[in-house]
Amino acid sequence: MNATASKRPLVQCEAVGLRFANREVIRNFNLQVFSGDRIAFLGPSGCGKSTLLNLISGLLSPTSGRVNRNLEAEKISFVFQEPSLIPWKTVRENLELVGDLISQSENRMNDLLLSLLHRVGLSDRENSWPDELSGGMKMRVALARALVNSPHLILLDEPFSALDDVTRTRLQDDILALQRESAIAYILVTHNIEEAVRMCDRILVFSRSGELLKDDDFNSGVDTKSMDAAQQHAERVQKLRDEVRQAWSDVSTEGVRRA
């Protein structure tokens, strides 16, 4: 976690639970998110990671516990697995649909659009149609759309899963650079161990049933200036990989999702 214990969290989940009909899917989930935090929800498909993002954002309401958001709703942005661009609108027109841009004057809107497209490396694609873009470019547009409202928290719901390795790495680098520039907090949903380690400092590991198995401040205790820092990091990655592999192979773990 970011060393900001004395500061007010952006979001705080307190004993959050969620029930659908007669099935309890989330139980007693607790989390604090501070400015600048980089958090991963690491777990297999179907364990409730995306449901937790929906609870944090306010798209879903908990049936028990509470989610305290110390920021305006528009300061939380989503980037989904699918870019979901409107195919009959250009890149510029897709971005113009976002609330904060609609309320701006034409000159201010133009300045914001050009700035956003520059930040995500699409300065020359303002008037392109979605079907003229690669998968990585479409995801960059989705990222620009998420940045329109100058968010304090971005929720990343497996946005890289459909991309090739090279494109995935480039987009990860883009998000890391943007995060360093502005101290945006983000929560990344993934089932990829290497991605979680590369993108995040804090990793929450969930079982197949959604039970929270591990909450690890992954880079704490590693002296990055020491000669054996790389070896320490590699050993921690391997340990995490072994723990996750063992937990996810336990198919007998069923029942309530205790996040």
pLDDT given for residue 222 in this prediction: 52
pTM: 0.84
pLDDT given for residue 102 in this prediction: 58
Among 18-27, 54-63, 234-243, the range scoring the smallest mean pLDDT is 234-243
Q: What percent of the chain has pLDDT over 90?
A: 36
Question: Distance between CA 144 and CA 166 in Å, rounded?
Answer: 20
Q: Region 215-241: what's the mean pLDDT?
A: 69
Per-residue pLDDT reduced to its tens digit, 113-148:
888 898 888 999 999 999 999 988 999 999 999 988
- Confidence category of residue 69, pLDDT binned at 50, 70, 90: very high
Residue 250 reports pLDDT greater than 70 = no
Instruction: Give me the helices (H) in 70-164, please.
Output: 91-96, 99-102, 106-119, 135-147
pLDDT given for residue 253 in this prediction: 45
Q: Region 148-155: what's the mean pLDDT?
A: 91
| Average pLDDT score, the chain | 83
